[in-house]
Structure 1
Amino acid sequence: MTVEKRRLKPAQLLFEPAAAVEDDEHFFSLEQYDDPGQLLERSTELAVAFRAAADRATEYQAIAAAQLADPKRFDRLTAAAIAERAGWTEDYAKRMVEFGEDLLRDGGKPREDT
């Protein structure tokens, strides 16, 4: 499967029922809110949670990129190969490898403050 095809369908969010994912009308039960104040509050909570999840996922991508590019690996990948695999530009892959190396130096886990 190519990277382009993979991007057409977002990853299923594990905590949303599969039936709701298939139904475009439903998104984390936000459609049930009649009160716009409650809708704003809940949708804002979700937006913040998704941003935090995206940030953490990006950090995991960076860690994986750094590990794949590690010169100590006999099967290490070049920035170009990592870029192709992830659907990035080569320049972005180099920056992600550097970011991942920084994270690994700081303990090898994504930051808890995101």
Structure 2
Amino acid sequence: MPDRHSPVSGQSGQHVPSGPTEPAVPGPGTPVRRLRPAHLLFEPQASEPEPERFFDLEAIEDPSELLRRATELTLAFRAAAERATDFQAIAAAQLADTRRFDALSPAEIADQADWTPDYAARMVEYGQTLLKQQAVGEH
């Protein structure tokens, strides 16, 4: 067994700190020791999949409470969907902006978003309206 205070050489032949007399944090010129990951000796057990749950609605037994909570979630999802649609429209308007050197046509936007070209054109118009409203609100 090597002496605690004697220098130990690593695989590269460089000095590797071995005891408490060495600084804990390597300084300039101190070689950095790289730790290797340990080899797995076994395969981790696959845990059984948890039953699918939807905001714990399955656990609510009172029909009035279930209706209240489900309605609350429905309204929240509708609001989130409307907000996401607004962001889609803004992005479509920005992509179609002719001041951009890489402006896209409504057909190209439709391809990217999996829309019809007519819907993409309407989203571009809606996005332009939202951008104008934002600009007015900033002033």
- Between the two proteins, what is the percent identity of the paired residues? 60
Out of 83, 88, 91, the residue aligned to residue 115 of structure 2 is 88
1:59-70 matches, cutoff 5 A: 59-70=86-97
Q: TM-score, normalised by structure 1?
A: 0.73
Q: Give a deviation string over 1:38-86, Cα, whole Å, max 9, x none.
A: 0000000000000000000000000000000000000010100000000
Q: Give a deviation string over 1:9-57, Cα, whole Å, max 9, x none.
A: xxxxxxxxxxxxx866310111110101000000000000000000000
Q: TM-score, normalised by structure 2?
A: 0.60
Question: When you count helix as a share of all residues, which structure comes out higher?
Answer: 1
Q: Relative to structure 1, is the Cα distance of residues 54 and 81 closer, same or farther in structure 2, using a 3 angstrom cutoff?
A: same
Q: Counterparts of 2:84 and 2:106 in 1: how far apart (Å)?
A: 19
Q: Counterparts of 2:94 and 2:86 in 1: how far apart (Å)?
A: 12
CA-based RMSD of the aligned residues comes to 1.4
Structure 2 residue runs without a partner (length 5+):
1-48
1:20-31 matches, cutoff 5 A: 25-31=52-58
Query: What does residue 57 of structure 1 align with?
Result: 84
Structure 1 residue runs without a partner (length 5+):
1-21, 109-114
Q: Which has the higher contact order (CA 8 A, sep 6+)?
A: 1
Between Structure 1 and Structure 2, whose CA radius of gyration is higher?
2
